[in-house]
A and B are shown apart, each in its own frame.
Chain A
Amino acid sequence: MDRRGFLKFAAGGTVGLVASPIIWNTLYDAVYWTQNWGWIPRLKKGESEYIPTVSKLCPSGTGFVVRTVAGTPVRTIGDKNNPVTHGAMTALAAAEAELRVSPARLKTPLRRSPDGAYVAITWTEAETLLKQKLQEAGSSVAAVSGDPTSSINEVLTSILNQRGSSDFYFMPDEEQPAAVAWEAMGGQGRLGYDMENSDCILAVGAPVLESWGVVAANRSAFNRTHPVAGEPTQKLLYAGALQNNTAAGADLWLPMKPGTDMALLLGVAHLLIKAGKQGFAAGLANFASFAAAYTPEKVSGITGVPVARLEAAAKALAEAKKPLVIAGSALGAGGSAGPVMVAVAINMLLGSVNREGGLVDMPFPVSVVAHATEYRETMRKRFVNYTQAVAAGKTKAPALLLVYAANPLYSLPADSGMKETLSKAGYSIAVASFMSETCEACDLVLPAALGMEAFDDVQTPYGSGRVTYALARPVAKPFAGARSAGELFIALAQELDLELGVKDMPELLYKHAYALGAPFRAMMDEGRVFTAKTALPASPLFYNWEAIRSAASARGAEGDIQVAPVVVLGMGTAQTAIPPFATKVVTDYQLKGKYSVAQMNSATAAKLKVNAGDHIRLVAGNNVEITVVAAIFEGILPDTVSLVAGLGHTAFDQFSKGKGSNVLALTSVCREPGTGLPVWGLAGVKAARA
């Protein structure tokens, strides 16, 4: 080929190539295949259904509509027709469809083998083992439940009672101290709060917009009373050590040192009595004279709340038509009864008991299962008293310990005796949905279906002002090998020839609905939720000033620095840990790398000689030491550091494990004077730069 021929060939080839689709198809393919890799998940197509039900993972029983695609839940959306939560969601409930398939979800029954490792077993083997262990244990059985709103507890108590054991407990919660307080003040029913109809709420220690009570309902009420760009019809006053989420929505923040709730409330009571608010009941004079010692100046000295804000709070309550005072704990468990007693007393002074927008004396949930223990009786029992007694050898360790929907090994202080009880128990069984710390310590782990996978219910949660009843309906098949815990326990009772009076979960739920006069069929078919304003005849309340005086004698926190714990539902609960879809809600002022972040104001930082980002060592009174990272935030009291709860998990999955420290490790169990309640001792710590 000559030169001219070569050039012709090259030119012809180039023109031909450009004119052909080869280059363009190759480019298209390159674009397509480099951006649509096989390992990027493809979307599942199918018919969408929207089925209303309620959350069993969110403590407030949030009502949501589960969107399923070809039978698989993909979204949870607030249910606007739910008369309790009115479509309001929590970060936890919003993440529930993804939690259902999270890596921490238990897929199959697991039995601990002699070498300590877990072995997957079948449900038949698991049920045989469960039955055998229960039979071997005789009456030496103990059980704890972390879901006080479920009827499944009745089945468990019935089984235990018929086996001759009375050791059934609820995990410590917000209601237990409140029930003690309400009873001490003469309350005969169950303490409820009509928050949505109040025009001025003082929440002391209780983060009502984040974790206290029926939080989705609280937020829904906040929404309705605070129109967009309009004038609020409800005032919210919040007392707490930190400007947390509740403080962000509050009209007035009272910066209160952790553990000084009693003094603050007594100071408010004193100001209200002075302002003429003296709702009469027996003991008023004695209470008034006791509260008189709590002058604004003294209270300010104890609590750190500026006098002007204390007076502003009392004035707002005095001027309100339907004021309501609520006391609670930041952690949601391990709180004292004393502050609730004073809160009840203030509501009595204001005439805010058994009237719209005030405290409500409500009926307790009733049991419908044969031989079951009544809710109220279980509420009176203290799990930590039991575990500490077992740990100390004062009570015989159970031959069988059953842990249902709870993670006590994580959510109780280290000296609660839980670890010892688990190791002393002859055999331990966890019925749970996620691989928690407690599951990892048990001999047998049984995977439980979630609320959206099985029949369950939500009976009036604590914090409500109305009797409510909602059904959790199975909207999807249980994930992998999970099974309905309720059906499991009912089948167990039947195997053991025990009498329950119900043959399955639907019948149990029907009996509950019938007892309440609730429309079971509409609840079952349409997901309707029952509510009723059922107030009991007024209880003979009195100002139990002696009980208040005893509780007020509790010692304050020790240590140079006080720890203010913060609970946020974005961190999940002890049972769920951090939901995979909520890790981005965790902020850089809560977690940094593998360290918890301690927020403190600049005065505290200067005192400790630390800057933002420095590592500091916190040493608690129980000698537990944790290392945290400092962050500067001015919305917190001096000499106080804030740590978020829900970190420091050693189990679950990569979304929770090995992140930060568990704030509960810094607390110790102590007893409240007068009531003897086990309370989580205030975490006073020594702090130094690491």
Chain B
Amino acid sequence: MSSEVKQFKIRWGMVIDIDKCTGCGACMVACQAENNVAPAVDGSNKLRSLNWLTVFRLSNHKPFPDHEVAYLPRPCMQCGKPSCVAVCPVIATDKREEGGIVSQIPPRCIGCRYCMASCPYHARYFNWYDPKWPGDLAQALTPDVSTRMRGVVEKCSFCHHRFMKAQEAAVAAGRDPMDLPDGAYITACTEACPNGAITFGDLNNPAHKVHELIKSPYAFRLLERLGTDPQVYYISKREWVRREGDNYLEHEKTGEATKQG
């Protein structure tokens, strides 16, 4: 991994309150529809199906009746130090643009899948087969995101096209496209979550809610001790949920490693 990390004025990020998520899956459906991810005949097979956003069920591993359950939606973490970028031999994935979103350019991808191996979050998916929209389903494709082809890797882009649209709207309105107000650009999953579990915004901008939320004592990131510096934060008041976010030794406490990038 490169030792030099590009710093951004804007860092788009997500804060997911796990205590508010009930695992309904509306975010997953909205993500697929927005980003033209092809439907799967048997989507329950998680090894074969392709999801930019997946909701995992967490358990506190205690027996009945002390068992507790929680749900964790997992998009791409848009890492500050993305391991996928470092291993891509053709620069099909990069983190260069202002906003700090890790890009993925499917036509440039050669399908080596090094990025998949290097991603600790399993956020990347490979198109083993041609994507299919049986019957008339292709009529419902959105005009914003190109369909991908067999043999390339794809992943969550934080609905990057929405960022571009918000910037265009700002320019058209005579506002600064690099200083979007809170809520002017949100992802499809944020928009679809009925419980308001997902908050999206610029982590660097004090006018955005996420800026404060990530300072919560209950905020944590997944596997943050790997040093990938994810731009996706989670919040849970439950200690056991926070412990699920990383590999902790018994005597270790959560929260100590949560420091902003």
Find chain A residues with CB under 8 A from B33 CB. Answer: 74-76, 94-95, 97-98, 581
Given A98-B39, A635-B64, A637-B64, A585 and B141 contact (CB-CB distance below 8 Å): no
Is B195 within 8 A of A223, CB to CB?
A: yes
Is B235 within 8 A of A228, CB to CB?
A: yes
Segment with Cβ contacts to B, from A84-92, A127-135, A193-201, A437-445? A84-92
A156 within 8 A of B: no
Given A91-B25, A103-B134, A229-B216, A586 and B43 contact (CB-CB distance below 8 Å): yes
Find chain B residues with CB under 8 A from A45 CB. Answer: 143
A571 (CB) vs chain B CBs: closest residue? B25
| B24 partner, pick from A37, A90, A226, beta carbons under 8 A | A90
Segment with Cβ contacts to A, from B80-88, B144-152, B171-179? B144-152
Segment with Cβ contacts to B, from A175-183, A343-351, A500-508, A587-595? A587-595
- In whole Å, how far is B2's beta carbon from the nearest beta carbon of chain A? 26
Is A588 within 8 A of B25, CB to CB?
A: no
Find chain B residues with CB under 8 A from A590 CB. Answer: 44
Is A40 within 8 A of B149, CB to CB?
A: yes
A580 within 8 A of B: yes
B223 within 8 A of A: no
Is B151 within 8 A of A35, CB to CB?
A: yes
- In whole Å, how far is A465's beta carbon from the nearest beta carbon of chain B? 18
- In whole Å, how far is B255's beta carbon from the nearest beta carbon of chain A? 13
B142 within 8 A of A: yes
Is A222 within 8 A of B195, CB to CB?
A: yes
A601 within 8 A of B: yes
B21 (CB) vs chain A CBs: closest residue? A248
A46 within 8 A of B: yes
How far apart sit A36 and B232, CA to CA, in the bound complex (Å)?
Answer: 32
A245 within 8 A of B: yes
Segment with Cβ contacts to A, from B4-12, B66-74, B113-121, B246-254? B66-74
Is A248 within 8 A of B213, CB to CB?
A: no
Is B130 within 8 A of A223, CB to CB?
A: no
A residues 72-127 with Cβ under 8 Å of B?
A: 72-78, 87-91, 93-95, 97-98, 100-103, 105
Is A101 within 8 A of B136, CB to CB?
A: yes
Is B64 within 8 A of A72, CB to CB?
A: no
A568 within 8 A of B: yes
B15 within 8 A of A: yes
B205 within 8 A of A: no
- In whole Å, how far is B129's beta carbon from the nearest beta carbon of chain A? 12
A570 within 8 A of B: yes
Is B23 within 8 A of A245, CB to CB?
A: yes
Is B20 within 8 A of A210, CB to CB?
A: no
- In whole Å, how far is B60's beta carbon from the nearest beta carbon of chain A? 9
How far apart sit A39 and B148, CA to CA, in the bound complex (Å)?
Answer: 11
Find chain B residues with CB under 8 A from A95 CB. Answer: 29, 33
How far apart sit A569 and B26, CA to CA, in the bound complex (Å)?
Answer: 9
Find chain B residues with CB under 8 A from A517 CB. Answer: none
Is B17 within 8 A of A229, CB to CB?
A: yes
Given A36-B149, A101-B135, A229-B218, A91 and B29 contact (CB-CB distance below 8 Å): yes
Find chain B residues with CB under 8 A from A602 CB. Answer: 63
Find chain A residues with CB under 8 A from B148 CB. Answer: 40
- In whole Å, how far is A493's beta carbon from the nearest beta carbon of chain B? 32
Is A248 within 8 A of B70, CB to CB?
A: yes
How far apart sit A568 and B65, CA to CA, in the bound complex (Å)?
Answer: 23
| A655 partner, pick from B32, B39, B142, beta carbons under 8 A | B39
Find chain B residues with CB under 8 A from A601 CB. Answer: 63-64, 67
Is B192 within 8 A of A89, CB to CB?
A: yes
Residue from the set B29, B70, B209 with the largest chain A CB neighbour count within 10 Å: B29
Find chain B residues with CB under 8 A from A48 CB. Answer: 143
| B44 partner, pick from A67, A103, A592, A637, beta carbons under 8 A | A592
B136 (CB) vs chain A CBs: closest residue? A101
A240 within 8 A of B: no
Find chain B residues with CB under 8 A from A40 CB. Answer: 130-131, 147-149
Given A39-B130, A659-B42, A603 and B21 contact (CB-CB distance below 8 Å): no
User: Quick one: CB contact mask for A607-643 with B, threshold 8 Å, 1 for yes?
Assistant: 0000000000000000000000000011111100000
- In whole Å, how far is A275's beta carbon from the nearest beta carbon of chain B? 24
- In whole Å, how far is A581's beta carbon from the nearest beta carbon of chain B? 5
A318 within 8 A of B: no
How far apart sit A36 and B55, CA to CA, in the bound complex (Å)?
Answer: 31
B219 (CB) vs chain A CBs: closest residue? A229
Given A98-B33, A248-B70, A72 and B139 contact (CB-CB distance below 8 Å): yes
A322 within 8 A of B: no
User: Quick one: CB contact mask for A10-52 with B, threshold 8 Å, 1 for yes?
Assistant: 0000000000000000000001100111011111111010000
A220 within 8 A of B: yes
Find chain B residues with CB under 8 A from A636 CB. Answer: 64
A331 within 8 A of B: no
Is A46 within 8 A of B40, CB to CB?
A: no
B residues 9-63 with Cβ under 8 Å of A?
A: 15, 17, 19-26, 28-30, 32-34, 36, 39-46, 49, 51, 54-55, 57, 59, 61-63
- In whole Å, how far is A312's beta carbon from the nearest beta carbon of chain B? 13
B207 within 8 A of A: no
Is A243 within 8 A of B39, CB to CB?
A: no
B191 within 8 A of A: yes
A219 (CB) vs chain B CBs: closest residue? B194
Is A249 within 8 A of B140, CB to CB?
A: no
Find chain B residues with CB under 8 A from A588 CB. Answer: 44-46
A333 within 8 A of B: no
Is B24 within 8 A of A306, CB to CB?
A: no
Find chain A residues with CB under 8 A from B139 CB. Answer: 44, 72, 101
Given A89-B30, A586-B44, A226 and B140 contact (CB-CB distance below 8 Å): no
Is A43 within 8 A of B45, CB to CB?
A: no
Find chain A residues with CB under 8 A from B146 CB. Answer: 43
Is A243 within 8 A of B107, CB to CB?
A: no
Given A35-B107, A41-B147, A634-B59, A585 and B34 contact (CB-CB distance below 8 Å): no
Given A247-B69, A634-B62, A98 and B17 contact (CB-CB distance below 8 Å): no
Is B29 within 8 A of A94, CB to CB?
A: yes
Find chain B residues with CB under 8 A from A37 CB. Answer: 130, 149
Is B26 within 8 A of A94, CB to CB?
A: yes
Is A73 within 8 A of B140, CB to CB?
A: yes
How far apart sit A513 and B214, CA to CA, in the bound complex (Å)?
Answer: 47
Find chain B residues with CB under 8 A from A358 CB. Answer: none
Find chain B residues with CB under 8 A from A224 CB. Answer: 196
How far apart sit A24 and B255, CA to CA, in the bound complex (Å)?
Answer: 53
Is B22 within 8 A of A584, CB to CB?
A: no
Hey, which bits of chain A sit against chain B, CB under 8 A?
A: 31-32, 35-37, 39-46, 48, 67, 69, 72-78, 87-91, 93-95, 97-98, 100-103, 105, 209-210, 216, 219-220, 222-224, 226, 228-229, 243, 245-249, 255, 306, 309, 479-480, 568-570, 579-593, 601-603, 633-638, 653-655, 659
Closest 9 A/B residue pairs (Cβ): A585-B25, A584-B43, A583-B43, A88-B194, A223-B196, A219-B194, A634-B67, A103-B135, A94-B29
Q: Enumerate 11 A-B pairs (CB-CB under 8 Å) in ascending A order.
A: A35-B151, A37-B130, A69-B142, A223-B196, A228-B197, A248-B70, A249-B195, A583-B44, A591-B44, A592-B44, A603-B63
- Further 8 A-B residue pairs, CB within 8 A, beyond A102-B135, A570-B24, A580-B39: A95-B33, A219-B194, A246-B22, A569-B24, A581-B33, A585-B29, A601-B64, A636-B64
